[in-house]
Chains A and B, each alone.
Chain A
Amino acid sequence: MRRSLTRRDFLKMSGVGLAGAGLLGSAACGGSGGGGPVELTFWSWVPDINNEVKLFEKANPDIKIKYVNAGQGGDEYTKLRTAIKSGSGAPDVVQIEFQYIETFKQLDALVDLSEYGANDVKDDFAAWTWEQVSDGSSVYAIPQDSGPMGLLYRQDIFDQYGLTVPETWADFEEQARKLNQANPDIYMADFLADGGWFNGLMWQAGARPFEVSGNKLSINMNDPAAVKVAEYWGNLVEEGLVGTKPPFTNEWYTALSNGTYASWITAAWGPVFLAGIAGKSKGKWRAAPLPQWSAGDNVSANWGGSTSAVTNQSEYPEEATEFAIWLNHNSESAKMLAEKSFLFPTLDSLLQSDDFKNQTDPFYGGQKVNSVFIEASENVDKGFEWSPFQDYVYTQMQEQLQAAADGKVSFPQVMDDLDSNITNYAKDQGFKVQ
């Protein structure tokens, strides 16, 4: 999940979560018998997730959850890694983004949940999300939310300059050129020097940078599909058809809200995020599927999204798994995550529910935005794998892609450099690189 917390979220989180706590008495419900209640620690940065935690405690009086917000993304991972290294202090259940599961698996930090019945719920989740958290019949996390990719665009700018919603990347480039000729101050989009974003575009194009099997690793950061994506964006940047502002900065937020960009290539969490940072442009945005490499195709990819994993420091892996499954699988809890915390669901029943599909949002002129991203979720290309050291890969990508966006190196060169840097790193770390 890439959506950053606002200050308001934090304030909300501190108050509301406690308010609804344990008002009702405990209904007798099965748990592991004997002894006092089991206490589990749970790390997550999802706003308001304490509400779902309370709901679980009510349904499972034998299990107490100690909820901790240990920071978002990288901040949490740093703490988690320190706890793993020191051998104590890790939570029982922890929020981990899809792309870091392999990284923590590599540290032997995650419990195989299939031992505790995780495969029972396999078919209830979107197939591609389950593939992301499992390896054969082993399961290392339960999917929570996802970020199938799509396009958000400014209807008003498109109308003003007579642009059409691009169905292919070639068309996207053409519209970008048309816009640039009509008004060079407005860019079709921003090139995001963000590991997750670029990775998503590589994913859609069919690139498979990593294949992991045990300690053997194949690295292909510069396979033809990845180079195709790099060259495409390199041309757009060089021609000045897209902006190159560093993403998720104040300057970038301002540019998104004041009409400097006619579109934002983003993920399913993007609509809510954008409404939060670009309130001024309310009603002017619309959603569309991601442009395609070949006309008539319908391929999407994923950027962001989280899971709940159980660490091997947990004394109660069975109860921890129960909680991880319940949190994301229980219909009430999953619904709350989707509707109150605006997480894009991974649960099929929710993705297919009319309530969710038909939700409209005035920020998008009353469009049923969810339905666009539900379709994207159905079309996420399967079989994408992550490296077992994704922090390193993302940091390298961000650094070098921004350098390319600033014109210091060529885009195809970046892919070659990334490939050789990452290969060297992997070899230094003892992997057998093929």
Chain B
Amino acid sequence: MKQEGQPETAPPVGSQQSALARRKRLRQIIIPYVFLVPFLILFALFLVLPLAYAFWISIFEERLVGGSTFVGADNYLHALRDGAFWNSVRRMVTFGVFQIPVMLGLALVFALVLDSGLVWFRSVFRLGFFLPYAVPSVVAALIWGYLYGPTFGPFTQLAEYLGVPSPNFLSESLMLGSIANIVTWEFVGYNMIILYAALQAIPAELRDAGAVDGARSWQIALYIKIPLIVPALLLTCIFSIIGTLQLFNEPSILQPLARGVIIQSYTPNLYAYGLAFTNQEYNYSAAVSFVIGAVVVVGSYAFMLATNRGRISRP
């Protein structure tokens, strides 16, 4: 960069000049990394190192009697054949197939309504929808656990007052739905904000053009807005897939209310936690954690692959 008033310091000899340029180039390459160092240190310390350590212990087996032995891939092979683990994965896939579309559908509708300018007090609604996300998920699960109470919970009380049968939200058949409801309640607002931000970024000309051509607002939403925010929708979808497979807080808090339903292996993360801190099977727990990670990666990648192909083949 040359600045006004600074004397030109270019040396007369060509080789010297290229050495300087090389040094400058080198500096340009290095400087970004200098700025990245704080991040890299933390990244290594709190992500890479624990992961490496977890991997290290996952290839051993330590028993209460007999100490630690190297077992290679045994823990992983065990995990692949572990029925309890795969049941928990299947449970979460079922959960995601129903919960994610409902949650994102609601988030999309709310975002479109807010974006359309149809409602007054837009910021009040925006805040209102977003507020549940500000409630820690542990607290949310406690609140809903109380609301779901099969005898003294408000829903049951209301049903009794109205003389209608009250469902047991904490029973085996409804538990997954009850948890889905909590998660939806928590995250609709969060996803709505992402989609709303994407909607706000759509150039006004496009809507105006649509309006001039006589499109109604639902047509503008369907044919202009939604196609333009597909990337944001995919992003929220990926986040939701990852979040679903890692579900932990809600079932963990509801567990004391329904021990026979939310078993130790109800969700993959709950299972890994129980293996480590109840069963003292740290090594196997580490292996299971890696398999969960692999499932998340495969799940997210499969989803991206599927959606990409769909978009490319569209005429």
Contact B256 A246 (CB under 8 A): yes
Q: Does residue B46 face the partner (Cβ distance < 8 Å to A)?
A: no
What A residues does B66 contact at CB under 8 A? 430
Task: Considering the complex, give the chain A residue whose CB is closest to the CB of B259.
Answer: A402
From known contacts A250-B146, A251-B152, infer whether A406 and B260 are also in contact, taking CB-CB under 8 Å. Answer: yes
What B residues does A404 contact at CB under 8 A? 260
What A residues does B178 contact at CB under 8 A? none
Q: Does residue A72 face the partner (Cβ distance < 8 Å to B)?
A: no
Interchain CA distance A431-B280 in the complex, whole Å: 14
Partner of B64, one of A193, A254, A388, A406: A388
Give A253-280 interface residues, CB cut-off 8 Å to B: 254-255, 260
Task: Considering the complex, give the chain B residue whose CB is closest to the CB of A214.
Answer: B65
Contact B63 A428 (CB under 8 A): yes
What A residues does B259 contact at CB under 8 A? 193, 246, 398-399, 402-403
Chain A interface residue count, CB cutoff 8 Å, equals 36
Contact A408 B279 (CB under 8 A): no
Contact B151 A215 (CB under 8 A): no
Contact A405 B146 (CB under 8 A): no
Contact A429 B64 (CB under 8 A): yes
Q: Does residue B264 face the partner (Cβ distance < 8 Å to A)?
A: yes
Give B74-126 interface residues, CB cut-off 8 Å to A: none
Give A170-186 interface residues, CB cut-off 8 Å to B: none
Q: Does residue A235 face the partner (Cβ distance < 8 Å to B)?
A: no
Contact B64 A106 (CB under 8 A): yes
What number of residue pairs across chains A and B have CB atoms under 8 A from each other? 78
Q: Does residue B226 face the partner (Cβ distance < 8 Å to A)?
A: no
Q: Does residue B242 face the partner (Cβ distance < 8 Å to A)?
A: no
Q: Does residue B160 face the partner (Cβ distance < 8 Å to A)?
A: no
From known contacts A399-B259, A406-B172, infer whether A389 and B274 are also in contact, taking CB-CB under 8 Å. Answer: no
What A residues does B146 contact at CB under 8 A? 250
Interchain CA distance A249-B254 in the complex, whole Å: 10
Give B253-274 interface residues, CB cut-off 8 Å to A: 256-261, 263-264, 274
What A residues does B63 contact at CB under 8 A? 428-430
CB of B98, distance to nearest CB on chain A (Å): 23
Q: Does residue B277 face the partner (Cβ distance < 8 Å to A)?
A: yes
Interchain CA distance A231-B180 in the complex, whole Å: 37
What B residues does A400 contact at CB under 8 A? 260
Task: Considering the complex, give the chain B residue whose CB is closest to the CB of A425.
Answer: B279
What A residues does B149 contact at CB under 8 A? 250-251
Q: Does residue B308 face the partner (Cβ distance < 8 Å to A)?
A: no
What B residues does A389 contact at CB under 8 A? 64, 279-280
What A residues does B299 contact at CB under 8 A? none
What B residues does A405 contact at CB under 8 A? 260
Q: Does residue A248 face the partner (Cβ distance < 8 Å to B)?
A: yes
CB of B49, distance to nearest CB on chain A (Å): 15
Task: Considering the complex, give the chain A residue whose CB is closest to the CB of B279.
Answer: A392
Contact B150 A395 (CB under 8 A): no
Task: Considering the complex, give the chain B residue whose CB is closest to the CB of A106.
Answer: B64
What B residues does A425 contact at CB under 8 A? 279
Q: Does residue A245 face the partner (Cβ distance < 8 Å to B)?
A: yes
Which residue, A250, A254, A389, has most C-beta atoms of chain B within 10 A?
A: A250
Give A379-434 interface residues, CB cut-off 8 Å to B: 388-389, 391-392, 395, 398-406, 408, 425, 428-431
Q: Does residue B278 face the partner (Cβ distance < 8 Å to A)?
A: yes
From known contacts A215-B65, A408-B172, infer whether A399 and B151 are also in contact, taking CB-CB under 8 Å. Answer: no
Partner of A395, one of B152, B258, B261, B274: B274
CB of A373, distance to nearest CB on chain B (Å): 26
Give A67-109 interface residues, CB cut-off 8 Å to B: 78, 81, 85, 106-107
Interchain CA distance A249-B274 in the complex, whole Å: 21
Contact A78 B151 (CB under 8 A): no
Give B198-236 interface residues, CB cut-off 8 Å to A: none
CB of B164, distance to nearest CB on chain A (Å): 19
Interface membership of chain B positions 116-151, coded 1 if the CB is closer than 8 angstroms to chain A and 0 otherwise: 000000000000000000000000000000100111
Give A208-242 interface residues, CB cut-off 8 Å to B: 215
What A residues does B172 contact at CB under 8 A? 406, 408
Contact B260 A193 (CB under 8 A): yes
Which residue, B65, B151, B260, B279, has most C-beta atoms of chain A within 10 A?
A: B260
Contact A399 B65 (CB under 8 A): no
What A residues does B278 contact at CB under 8 A? 391-392, 395
Task: Considering the complex, give the chain B residue whose CB is closest to the CB of A250.
Answer: B146
Interchain CA distance A246-B260 in the complex, whole Å: 9
Contact B257 A246 (CB under 8 A): yes
Interchain CA distance A227-B279 in the complex, whole Å: 25
What A residues does B260 contact at CB under 8 A? 193, 399-406, 408
CB of A413, distance to nearest CB on chain B (Å): 13
What A residues does B261 contact at CB under 8 A? 406
From known contacts A399-B259, A399-B263, A402-B260, infer whether A245 and B151 are also in contact, taking CB-CB under 8 Å. Answer: yes
From known contacts A428-B63, A430-B64, infer whether A81 and B280 are also in contact, taking CB-CB under 8 Å. Answer: yes
Interchain CA distance A395-B64 in the complex, whole Å: 18
Interchain CA distance A425-B64 in the complex, whole Å: 11
CB of A106, distance to nearest CB on chain B (Å): 6
Contact A255 B258 (CB under 8 A): no
Task: Considering the complex, give the chain B residue whose CB is closest to the CB of A400.
Answer: B260
What B residues does A398 contact at CB under 8 A? 259
What B residues does A430 contact at CB under 8 A? 63-66
Contact B280 A402 (CB under 8 A): no
From known contacts A398-B259, A403-B260, infer whether A251 and B64 are also in contact, taking CB-CB under 8 Å. Answer: no
Interchain CA distance A39-B278 in the complex, whole Å: 32
Contact A402 B151 (CB under 8 A): no
Task: Considering the complex, give the chain B residue whose CB is closest to the CB of A253.
Answer: B152
Listed A/B pairs (25) with beta-carbon separation below 8 Å: A81-B277, A81-B280, A107-B64, A246-B257, A246-B258, A246-B259, A249-B257, A251-B150, A251-B257, A254-B152, A255-B152, A388-B64, A389-B279, A391-B277, A391-B280, A398-B259, A399-B263, A401-B260, A402-B259, A402-B260, A403-B260, A406-B260, A406-B261, A425-B279, A430-B66
A contact residues vs B (CB 8 Å cutoff): 78, 81, 85, 106-107, 193, 215, 245-246, 248-251, 254-255, 260, 388-389, 391-392, 395, 398-406, 408, 425, 428-431
B contact residues vs A (CB 8 Å cutoff): 63-66, 146, 149-153, 171-172, 256-261, 263-264, 274, 277-280, 282
A-B CB proximity, top 10 nearest: A430-B65, A402-B260, A403-B260, A430-B63, A402-B259, A430-B66, A429-B64, A406-B260, A215-B65, A391-B278
